[in-house]
Amino acid sequence: MELKVLVDNNTIIDRYYLAEPAVSYLICDGDTKILFDVGYSDIFIKNARKMDESLMDINYVVISHGHNDHTGGLVPLVKFYSEAKAENLNYINPTVIAHPEAFSYKEYSGDEIGSILDSKKIGRYFGTTLASEPLWITDNLVFLGEIERGNDFENIEPIGQCEKLYSMVDDHVYDDSALVYKSFQGLVIITGCSHAGICNIIEYAKKVCNDDRILDVIGGFHLIEPSEVQAEGTLNYFNEQNIKNIHPCHCTSLEYKIKLSKSTNIMDVGVGLSMSYQ
């Protein structure tokens, strides 16, 4: 599997890519090509062009969860394919994979923070697979669906509210999910923001893949200003694990990267980063 960072808060030095506080990764596993999240704007398209990467042959668009810094790029992606169609260019119309609640209306302090396109609109432009159970995309790459939440220190407070059954309820972001790649050396876990809890995600990945070896974890860890309970529980968890590398980014503060580095090898992340796993 190959993974390239199309969008992150940071960029690799001496390369003139664009950055924003968002996430988008281009993932290739054999002949299968996947966009994992699409950032907040159209810069994932611009950065892909600078990397000489075509988005005309994407098989799947996987959405980690429904917040606008992960789904905002769906609108320019629709335009991207609409223009390709108008110009008679050959392209694959990708299938969108997400949790069934990913495109529900979401707000925080009265401001809309969810996807501009709801599931009905998305279905007009793309094929859709909305899955709450694990979904194997390739023989070695799985979308986890709804994450089991087994610990008592993560996802305690809601992130605003979401619409459910035509009423607004506290949003514990049950649509938050992740991808996992089964490599020969262990699991590679790819997250968006880890609202479900990075420790919960790791444990569920082990269960779904029947493998306790963690080779790498890349993505947002939802550790900007965590509560004391979450911070202590998360750091204790990582101290007890034998994880080879982690690539915390996006919604992970420098403070917690430093604290996590005491138990695990921390690697830097930025737009333009390219990694491969066997």
Domain positions in the chain are: 2-276
- Reported as a single tens digit per residue, the pLDDT across 179-189 is 999 999 999 99
**Average pLDDT of 117-140?**
97
DSSP code, position 36: E
Strand-pairing partners, residue 95, are 60, 127
Q: pLDDT at residue 277 above 90?
A: yes
* Helix (H) and strand (E) counts in the chain: 7, 18
Q: Considering the entire predicted model, what is its pTM?
A: 0.97
Q: Supply the mean pLDDT for the chain.
A: 97
Q: How many C-beta neighbours within 10 Å does residue 264 have? A: 18
Helix (H) or strand (E) run with residue 79 in it: helix 74-86
Band the pLDDT of 166: cuts 50, 70, 90.
Answer: confident
Q: What does the pLDDT read at residue 1?
A: 98
Structure tokens at 77: 């992606």
Nearest to 37 by CA among 135, 187, 140, 179: 179
Q: Which run of H or E residues covers position 266?
A: strand 265-266
Count Cβ atoms below 10 Å from residue 226 Cβ, excluding itself: 21
Q: What does the buried/exposed string (b/e) look like for 29-48 if buried means 16 or more CB atoms within 10 Å of the residue's CB?
A: beebbbbbbbbbbbbbbebb
Q: For 214-265, write each residue's pLDDT tens digit.
A: 999 999 999 999 999 999 999 999 999 999 999 999 999 999 999 999 999 9
What is the distance between the alpha carbons of residues 32 and 11, in angstroms, rounded to a whole number? 26
Instruction: Kindly give, in sequence order, each residue whose CB lies less than 8 Å from that of residue 175, ignoring residues fewer than 6 positions away.
Output: 65, 66, 98, 99, 100, 101, 102, 104, 146
What would the mean pLDDT of 37-51 be, rounded to a whole number? 98
Q: Which of 98, 16, 95, 94 is nearest to 49 (CA)?
A: 16
The answer to whether domain 2-276 has CATH 3.40.50.720 is no
β-strand pairing of 245-249 with 265-266: parallel
Question: For 36-60, what is the mean pLDDT?
Answer: 97
- Give the pLDDT score at 15: 85
Q: Which of 260, 217, 258, 256 is nearest to 237 (CA)?
A: 260
- Residue 13: its pLDDT value, please? 82
Strand, helix or coil at 95? strand
For residue 14, pLDDT over 90 is answered with: no
pLDDT in tens, 198-212: 999 999 999 999 999
Do residues 135 and 142 make contact, with C-beta atoms less than 8 angstroms apart? yes
The predicted pLDDT at position 106 comes to 98
Q: In what order do the strands lie in the sheet with 167-170?
A: 111-112, 106-108, 161-164, 167-170
